[in-house]
Amino acid sequence: MAVGLKPPVDLLPVAGVRLGVAAADIRGNGAKRNDVCVIVLPARARSAVVLTNNVFAAAPVQLIRKHRGECAAPRALLINSGNANAGTGDVGLADAALCCQQLADQLGVEAQAVWPFSTGVIGQRLPAQRLCEAIPGAVAAAAADGWQSAAQAIMTTDTVAKGCSATMTVGGQQYTVSGMTKGAGMIRPDMATMLAFVATDAPLSQAAVDSLLEHAVDASFHNIVVDGDTSTNDACTLTATGEADALIEPGTAEFAVVEQVVTQVFVDLAQRIVRDGEGATKFVTVQVDGARTADEARQVAMTVAESPLVKTAWFASDANWGRMLAAVGRSGIDGLALRGVILGLTSADGSLQTTMVASGQPADGYDESVADIIMALPEFTVQIGLGRGDATARIWTCDLGHDYVRINAEYRT
């Protein structure tokens, strides 16, 4: 069950963006659920994409890289769930290209103006014919208020559709930001977004879109982990549809306002993925302070957040601080001194806190019963101080329990 997470109910239209869904039975089990999504973009929209660093990138990822070099900007995004079209070789590339051509024909644009995205089982051929047959219906259904149904159509092992919206006032004008994401497993920052699509009607230049996407992903999806695995299909897009005599450029006061709001939407989406981590019962923030560099702080935080022993202790609400301390110690930080490390817990609302370790030993007055209470909560923060600098890092993660094994053991059945 998702931790403190409910389906979105207030996703706002973004001027110029239309979303439509259809059922193509991608999984081949006769299910009637929508599993194809089309996002139609206006001709002058500016878009950017960040893609997986996994060496074995899926066919759609490879095709996006090709299309991005051949076309100035996409006119449509084509998304399917239920099949990753990864590990499928030249046939997989041909299938992805066929589906892009079908959508391009429907919209009267070049095939290179379509970016394809797939998510689901790896190593199985994409049922391209069924997908192509469903595309006209998705195009016909495309509407400005289609965010909700689109967020549901891109789900795989997600238990809750994930999306959020925000508004902002820039230069006396109000603009909207809306986004959706999917992901619950194979989550690890490498770029780790699984799939995410965000749009705004703010009049951003292409340079602003590129800069903003890089910043927002680094502040959000690069700071989450569920199980330490990365996907072959991870992708995240940002589109700006707004027009103005002078587009907003990086480095301006207007850009700073947009950056703050858009980044918060990205953070919200990233946290929703962790809250819906496969089998998760706890949402945990790992906060590291006192590092020499931000990279050092992040290295420590990720080591703790990824540790199966630590995550299973969290699942059991077991205040076994030895597991967390051992993870800090094996994080690979040169010259890290145990006597400088502080380890504590804080409840999400800040009403309960305890220091477990200080100066290399159990902290004076440490009461494990308080730690047990905090760790039994659905949300808490692990606080780690290194005592060697001023740099910090924050990672959002979850526990690891029985259902994670069950979900992934039964994934193909």
What is d(CA 185, CA 161) in angstroms, rounded to the nearest whole number? 14
**Interior angle at CA 280, CA 358 and CA 412, nearest 5:** 140
Give the tokens for residue 129: 């014919």
What is d(CA 401, CA 391) in angstroms, rounded to the nearest whole number? 32
The number of beta carbons lying within 10 Å of the beta carbon of residue 360 is 12
H helices of 220-344, in order, are 253-275, 294-306, 308-315, 321-329
What is d(CA 73, CA 46) in angstroms, rounded to the nearest whole number? 6
Buried b / exposed e over 32-57, threshold 16 CB at 10 Å, is ebbbbbbbbbeeebbbbbbbbebeeb
Length of the chain: 413
State which amino acid sits at residue 367. Answer: D
- Cβ neighbors of 253 (< 8 A, separation 6 or more) are none
DSSP state of 410: S
- Cβ neighbors of 367 (< 8 A, separation 6 or more) are 354
What is d(CA 145, CA 223) in angstroms, rounded to the nearest whole number? 30
State which amino acid sits at residue 39. Answer: I
State which amino acid sits at residue 251. Answer: G
What is d(CA 318, CA 58) in angstroms, rounded to the nearest whole number? 39
Q: How many helices and strands, by DSSP H and E, does the chain display?
A: 11, 15
- 193, 232, 354, 381: the active-site residue: 193
Identify the H or E element spanning 392: strand 391-398
State which amino acid sits at residue 12. Answer: L
State which amino acid sits at residue 325. Answer: L
User: Is 167 noted as a catalytic residue in this protein?
Assistant: no
Distances (CA, A) of 256 to 86, 211, 266, 368: 38, 11, 15, 44
| Catalytic residue ranges | 193
